[in-house]
């Protein structure tokens, strides 16, 4: 029997389940307590778990992440909320030089099980620094697990899996999809859910693989439905580091073509790494070059221009058409 939840509510329910399961799990960040977060993802947790486990912090991202590292070293499992994607950068030093490196530096003697929740991506008409897609910074940093969700089902289970991981996890939440609703089987067990580092085939097809993640999965599914000329297989990547190349390459070997779509700028994006890897592993199966559909190589524009900046249905369909132009 499923429960109808939005992605935002599913993350909330997953956090609640994690906190009930382990008293060492705590939530911290700007406005996560009494307010329940700017997107209300932590709504109600402060009331039920108290100020010792749902902690309103100062507006100081470096301090938030640094404190979380220290608490993790003392046996806690902090879940940190970075209020918006563009607010992460003051915490970059703590993340890249400490959080990502600590376990390796200590030869496994220390672990820092910190989850860093980051609402990311555009499409909500926000002001500067509120709509960015910084995933390439994290995926380029060895030592971090990086995941993102596209469905309420994944949101509910993957946040719990992230909390239980002994590696630090960057948990990217597509903010324009927070209110997408679907059934979630909250009565199942965490160990029965799909592993958070596994990709999933969201729609089967035979002619071309369309790979997306986070906010672009819905657009990819819409493109697959709208394309009456080709049978489009949609793969939801889910884990950005590590990437489940077994699922990706198996799909490409079946279809012979790959289109990768993401909201981040084109150059140096995760799509480029996937294109290179798939070309290496599937060269003799490919019927055309790997096509990338992404945002432009410019800073994120003012909100009135974001509809031209973000890859939309037409640009994804054009990418699919280009895969058949060779």
The C-alpha atoms of residue 267 and residue 136 are separated, in whole angstroms, by 10
pLDDT at 25 over 70: yes
Q: Where among 163, 192, 221 does a domain terminate?
A: 192
The whole-chain average pLDDT of the chain stands at 97
pLDDT at 132 over 90: yes
Residues 21, 129, 130, 230: which is the catalytic one? 130
pLDDT at 1 over 60: no
For the stretch 96-118, pLDDT in tens is: 999 999 999 999 999 999 999 99
Mean pLDDT confidence for 220-234: 97
Tell me, what's the pLDDT at 2? 83
Domain check: are 40 and 85 in the same one?
yes
For the stretch 163-193, pLDDT in tens is: 999 999 999 999 999 999 999 999 899 999 9
Mean pLDDT confidence for 237-258: 98
The C-alpha atoms of residue 87 and residue 163 are separated, in whole angstroms, by 22
Mean pLDDT confidence for 146-159: 98
Residue 57: domain span: 3-192
**Domain CATH code at residue 263:** 3.40.50.920
Domain check: are 19 and 147 in the same one?
yes
* pLDDT band, residue 67 (cuts 50/70/90): very high
Domain check: are 140 and 245 in the same one?
no
Task: Give which of 220, 151, 214 is closest to 182, Cα–Cα.
Answer: 151
The C-alpha atoms of residue 162 and residue 276 are separated, in whole angstroms, by 28
The C-alpha atoms of residue 128 and residue 8 are separated, in whole angstroms, by 23
**Domain CATH code at residue 159:** 3.40.50.970
* pLDDT band, residue 326 (cuts 50/70/90): confident
Mean pLDDT confidence for 58-82: 97
Domain check: are 233 and 304 in the same one?
yes
Domain check: are 62 and 173 in the same one?
yes
Number of domains in the chain: 2
Mean pLDDT confidence for 235-254: 98
- The rounded percent of the chain whose pLDDT value lies above 90 is 98
DSSP 82: P
Domain check: are 175 and 233 in the same one?
no
CA-based end-to-end distance of the chain: 48
CB–CB of 72/19 below 8 Å? no
Taking CA atoms, 58 is separated from 33, 67, 84, in Å, by: 12, 11, 15
Domain check: are 309 and 171 in the same one?
no
Q: Is 130 a catalytic residue?
A: yes
Domain check: are 33 and 54 in the same one?
yes
* pLDDT band, residue 61 (cuts 50/70/90): very high
Please tell me whether residue 189 adopts helix, strand or coil conformation.
coil
- The rounded percent of the chain whose pLDDT value lies above 70 is 100
Domain check: are 64 and 150 in the same one?
yes
H runs (alpha helix) in the chain = 7-21, 45-49, 61-73, 92-93, 102-105, 135-139, 152-164, 216-226, 245-255, 270-282, 306-309, 313-323
Residue in this structure with the two tokens 């927070």, named with its chain if needed? 178
């Amino acid at each position: 029997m499923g429960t109808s939840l939005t992605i935002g509510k599913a993350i909330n329910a997953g956090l609640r389940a994690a906190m009930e399961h382990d008293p060492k799990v705590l939530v911290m960040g700007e406005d996560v307590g009494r307010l329940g977060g700017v997107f209300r993802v932590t709504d109600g947790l402060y009331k039920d778990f108290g100020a010792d486990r749902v902690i309103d912090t100062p507006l100081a991202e470096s301090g938030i992440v640094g404190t979380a590292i220290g608490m993790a070293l003392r046996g806690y499992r902090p879940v940190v909320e970075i209020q918006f994607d563009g607010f992460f950068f003051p915490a970059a030093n703590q993340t890249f030089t400490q959080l990502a490196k600590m376990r390796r530096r200590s030869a496994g003697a220390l672990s820092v099980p910190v989850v860093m929740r980051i609402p990311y991506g555009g499409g909500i008409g926000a002001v500067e620094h509120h709509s960015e897609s910084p995933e390439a910074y994290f995926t380029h940093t060895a030592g971090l697990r990086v995941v993102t969700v596209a469905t309420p089902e994944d949101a509910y289970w993957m946040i719990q899996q992230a909390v239980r991981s002994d590696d630090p996890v960057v948990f990217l939440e597509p903010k324009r999809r927070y209110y997408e609703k679907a059934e979630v089987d909250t009565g199942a067990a965490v160990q029965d859910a799909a592993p958070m580092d596994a990709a999933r085939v969201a729609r089967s097809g035979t002619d071309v693989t369309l790979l997306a993640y986070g906010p672009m999965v819905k657009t990819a599914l819409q493109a697959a439905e709208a394309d009456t000329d080709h049978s489009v297989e949609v793969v939801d990547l889910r884990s950005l580091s590590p990437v489940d190349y077994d699922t990706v390459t198996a799909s490409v070997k079946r279809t012979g073509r790959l289109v990768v779509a993401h909201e981040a700028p084109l150059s140096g994006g995760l799509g480029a790494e996937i294109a290179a890897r798939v070309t290496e592993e599937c060269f003799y199966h490919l019927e055309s070059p790997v096509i990338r559909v992404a945002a432009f190589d410019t800073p994120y524009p003012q909100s009135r221009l974001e509809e031209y900046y973000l890859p939309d249905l037409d640009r994804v369909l054009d990418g699919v058409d280009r895969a058949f132009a060779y």
